[in-house]
Chain A
């Protein structure tokens, strides 16, 4: 089963395995890549919004926290990284 970044539990560490760039506006894709959110990156789902839809999300990538929308996270397939224990 394919798991996307918006579906993993809060606090979970994950590795991005594939990104559907066609689902994103080109500039946003570029912005995400510039922030290091790309295939292979290890990210942690850190915070979720409160209201309906639980949007937006904040993820930790490296030592940075980045806010993004659920539509962005939904375009990213993730898996639990094998080389590190899940938090």
Chain B
């Protein structure tokens, strides 16, 4: 104990409603961090006992038992045993049980109670059990288990006061010496769990449960997949069209700040650092916030309602064909907005090799940062003429769709190769509980959204800040002699000269090399640096795009433009992604590998595109 404050921990199976209970007990006063050395999230918050005394409540990862099968379960076991570095042993354990799944949850519960630590049981989601025709006797359960049992409905805030009182009381009790039964094995616990659960049932009416009825449609072999596709289409539509006004608003604010700084500060290097380095860099990150929030709104809703597990079920077969499982679907879906939250979402994948493979292919999902680059090039080089049956589809849209598919197909191919070579291992399985459907609460959704947004801003923000400052220094030092161009004199200029030699064979010129260097910070920076190179400047963004397009057309050939598009499908031009991959894999080895293989693929893809286009006489 370091701070002398009482620590309590929420323990229970996955899907017991622990997080909802945690939110209800602690409100918005939460701290989210990682346990040291592992990528397991530590959630802690303050709750108050009836006496007004604060308690630090820790939400432990969901577990099926005290013998760990995943890093999550390992952390849960260590915290309960008081062996987790940097985490005091909880004085009180709050066991969270799903009322309608007692015979299952009581297996782990027995293991925990047998430890003899002060324990309180929260019999959670009693309302859902009653909806399904199951009425339970908490007193009978209390007698069978020998610890206090409090019925709760976390999302309706029922039973919270009683639970707080029970925690206070359990804490005062010195751990009653429970008869240790170390020889009791799994099957015996299971039989006992059945007996205890049966004994606690007051009445049970056989009723067609709501979730079974919904699954009959949503998991239907022919109806389920089209419903999922329609839903995904809706999500993408909302992400791409719904976010635009907000993103424009944020850009306008940052631009206004830059203008304000320019007007107020004397011209010079410090001012340029502030406007062109810091503000431009921060602006390039927060412009993605609206998209990420919208995407996460859908992902959190799908998770909270229980549909996400069904989506994983429906996608599993497809993912299995490249050696992954349905669990990789959620991270890859997130990566269409931004690979950073996508890579962070891989934590739910238990198999380490599955998880690593998913992290490595996440940057191939076409993230929103590629859109501005694609948009400028496509508008300049691809004629806007209708194609296909009835001329319903425009050629420009078709090329954009093709670039998305190119990324997905590339990712699948890479996964297949990796799973047969570098991340080879036992065929990954897919065992997943499909939780009951429920209506999410606005508060839980809002809290989740806020937390994800904050994590994104903090991680991406600090990283991009550092990178933009370093890039700015590279572009501005050493200072140019009078009459010499600053870019030519800078370190970045010299780097571009070297780079140009390497990328000449794939049809890229020195202007492109110069754009690719700052675009390491974020892909869309390529657009603004090309604009700088071709001396396009106009306060109106759309005008910039049009003028830049005209400039590009006069400086680039069509094969070069196509190769440039192919390059951006693969190139890992996002240092924030690399930084997150380093965090999530605990080292530089895998991000290093990721950089190398993606640049190699980008080079080959751009080269093949260029040479093919030249051979076809498009140059």
Contact = CB atoms under 8 A, between A and B. Distances in A.
A67 B221 contact: no
Interface residues of B, number: 41
A58 interface: yes
Interface stretch (A1-9, A32-40, A76-84): A32-40
B556 interface: no
Q: Interface size for chain A: under 10, 10 to 19, 20 to 34, or 35 or more residues? A: 35 or more
Given A47-B215, A48-B221, A35 B433 contact: yes
Interface stretch (B100-108, B265-273, B438-446, B471-479): B100-108
A63 B211 CA distance: 11
Contact of B103 (A24, A49, A56, A62): A62
Contact of B222 (A32, A47, A50): A50
A72 B104 contact: no
B426 interface: yes
B172 interface: no
Contacts of A40: 187
A40 B69 CA distance: 23
A65 B215 contact: yes
A59 to B, nearest CB: 10
Contact of A63 (B100, B186, B219, B326): B100
Interface of A: 24-25, 27-28, 30-36, 38-40, 46-53, 55-56, 58, 61-69, 71-72
Contacts of A61: 104
A19 to B, nearest CB: 12
A52 to B, nearest CB: 8
B224 interface: yes
Query: Main SS of chain B's interface residues?
Result: helix
Given A49-B316, A56-B313, A65-B434, A35 B187 contact: no
Given A51-B317, A67-B434, A68-B429, 5 more contacts: A34-B65, A62-B103, A63-B101, A63-B104, A66-B434
Contacts of A48: 221
Contacts of A63: 100-101, 103-104, 132
Interface string B180-199: 00000011001000000000
B406 interface: no
Given A62-B101, A63-B100, A64-B101, A49 B221 contact: yes
A11 B516 CA distance: 58
B190 A66 contact: no
Given A58-B434, A67-B326, A72-B431, A34 B107 contact: yes
Nearest to A36: B104
Contacts of B187: 38-40
A46 to B, nearest CB: 7
B104 A31 contact: no
Query: Main SS of chain A's interface residues?
Result: mixed
Contacts, number: 111
Nearest to A30: B69
29 contacts: A28-B431, A30-B69, A34-B65, A34-B69, A34-B108, A35-B64, A35-B431, A36-B107, A38-B187, A47-B313, A49-B221, A50-B314, A52-B317, A55-B317, A56-B313, A56-B326, A62-B103, A63-B101, A63-B104, A64-B433, A65-B211, A65-B433, A65-B434, A66-B433, A67-B316, A67-B430, A67-B433, A69-B429, A72-B429
What 6 pairs across the A-B complex have the smallest Cβ distances? Answer: A34-B64, A50-B221, A65-B434, A47-B219, A51-B317, A67-B432
Interface string B558-602: 000000000000000000000000000000000000000000000
Given A34-B65, A50-B221, A55-B320, A68 B186 contact: no
B309 A67 contact: yes
Nearest to A57: B313
A61 to B, nearest CB: 8
B387 interface: no
B81 to A, nearest CB: 19
A62 B427 CA distance: 28
A38 B225 CA distance: 30
Interface in B226-275: none
Interface string B416-460: 000000000011011111100000000000000000000000000
B318 interface: yes
A25 B429 CA distance: 9
A69 B190 CA distance: 23
Contacts of B222: 50
Nearest to A47: B219
A61 B195 CA distance: 16
Given A28-B431, A64-B104, A50 B313 contact: no
Contacts of A47: 215, 219, 313
Interface in B81-136: 100-101, 103-104, 107-108, 132
B42 to A, nearest CB: 23
A6 B49 CA distance: 51
Contacts of B107: 34, 36
Contacts of A64: 101, 104, 433
Interface in B41-60: none
A25 B427 CA distance: 9
Contacts of B316: 49, 55-56, 67, 69
Contacts of B312: 67
Nearest to B433: A66
